[in-house]
């Protein structure tokens, strides 16, 4: 009756042979094409270095004014602006300014890449049910796969450093912007679309002047979630050399430095709250604007 209690499975020898074949194939691929693949990501490396040098090299009062200005333009809310400024001042007072700027530069680069990839994919999914059925399971895997797993193939291909960390973060943070772009465009009122077609709008004009503007609040919600998920990967990405607030947290875990981990962890939380409030406020403003236009 052992067969009844033990699930039928591949024998150990065959399973080991299969694993070894896959591992050897991936190692061979890495040795053969690793340098060429690494060369493809040189522009990303340059973008990362530029963003980091821009934020770390700019005097802190200028950075503070720029962030306050962006928060005001997005939210039109003084409490949110003052909250963002206070958060950054406290972070700087606790001597975490440079690491915070490195983290913000990484989040900025990851968000730009996610939008550049996710927005067109979401639009294509909204236009094609077949493509949506193909991509949706891939997004499910990307969202449910443990984040540590992303690091294995990326590190084997590209080694340790900023670029593999950013790639892993983008893979983890990409699904929300794709899903919510698709959802936002699909939820655009059919009567509005029919009216635009009746006035002779081409598919491109329909997308640019009707669908994207009406879907923008939902797309902004997707961007908000993408930023939050990217920030959630900060500590994990620090394991493969991404500099920022994640590295002190990792060092605190390894050496049992309670206050170091607590302060840097709270800094990550503060940045997350700041981004969340600003992007949510901007999304609400867009929503009110669209409702006013409909009225």
What does the pLDDT look like over 153-187, one tens digit per residue?
Answer: 777 777 777 888 888 888 888 999 999 999 999 88
Query: What is the rounded average pLDDT of the residues 70-85?
Result: 91
- Calpha distance 29→23 (Å, rounded): 10
Name the strand (E) or helix (H) holding 125. Answer: helix 97-127
Say if residue 292's pLDDT is above 80: no
Residue 123: what pLDDT?
A: 92
Residue 285: what pLDDT?
A: 81
Residue 68: what pLDDT?
A: 94
Quote the pTM value: 0.84
Could you write out the three-class secondary structure of 18-84? HHHHHHHHHHHHHHHHHHHHHHHCHHHHHHHHHHHHHHHHCCHHHHHHHHHHHHHHHHCCHHHHHHH
Residues 6+ apart with CB under 8 A from 61: none
The structure tokens listed for 110 are 């990851």
pLDDT, tens digit (0-9, with 9 covering 90-100), for 230-246: 888 887 888 777 788 88
Say if residue 95's pLDDT is above 80: yes
CA 269 to chain centre: 16
Instruction: Check if CATH label 1.20.120.80 holds for domain 41-294.
Output: no
Residue 7: what pLDDT?
A: 61
Residue 212: what pLDDT?
A: 84
Domain range annotation of the chain? 10-40, 41-294
CA distances from 79 to 87, 89, 286 (A): 12, 15, 19
pLDDT, tens digit (0-9, with 9 covering 90-100), for 195-244: 878 877 788 888 888 888 888 888 988 998 999 888 888 878 887 777 88
The alpha carbons of the chain give a radius of gyration, in whole angstroms, of 23
């Amino acid at each position: 009756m052992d067969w009844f209690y033990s699930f039928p499975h591949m024998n150990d020898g065959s399973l080991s042979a299969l694993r070894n074949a896959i591992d050897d194939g991936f190692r061979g691929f890495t040795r053969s094409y690793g340098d060429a693949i690494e060369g493809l990501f040189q522009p990303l490396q340059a973008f990362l270095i530029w963003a980091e040098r821009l934020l770390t090299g700019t005097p802190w009062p200028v950075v503070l004014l720029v962030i306050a200005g962006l928060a005001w333009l997005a939210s039109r809310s003084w409490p949110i602006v003052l909250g963002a400024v206070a958060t950054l001042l406290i972070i700087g007072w606790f001597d975490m300014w440079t690491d915070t700027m490195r983290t913000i530069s990484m989040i900025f680069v990851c968000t730009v890449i996610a939008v550049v990839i996710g927005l067109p994919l979401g639009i294509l999914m909204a236009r094609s049910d077949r493509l949506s059925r193909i991509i949706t399971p891939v997004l499910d895997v990307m969202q449910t796969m443990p984040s540590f797993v992303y690091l294995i193939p990326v590190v084997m291909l590209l080694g340790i450093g900023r670029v593999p960390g950013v790639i892993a973060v983008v893979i983890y943070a990409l699904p929300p912007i794709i899903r919510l772009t698709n959802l936002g465009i699909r939820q655009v009122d059919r009567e509005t679309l029919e009216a635009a077609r009746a006035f002779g709008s081409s598919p491109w004009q329909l997308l640019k002047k009707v669908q994207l503007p009406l879907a923008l609040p939902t797309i902004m919600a997707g961007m908000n979630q993408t930023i939050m998920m990217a920030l959630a990967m900060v500590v994990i990405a620090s394991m493969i050399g991404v500099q920022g607030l994640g590295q002190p947290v990792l060092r605190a875990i390894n050496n049992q430095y309670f206050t170091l981990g607590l302060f840097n962890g709270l800094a990550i939380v503060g940045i997350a709250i700041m981004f969340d409030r600003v992007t949510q406020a901007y999304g609400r403003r867009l929503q009110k604007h669209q409702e006013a236009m409909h009225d």
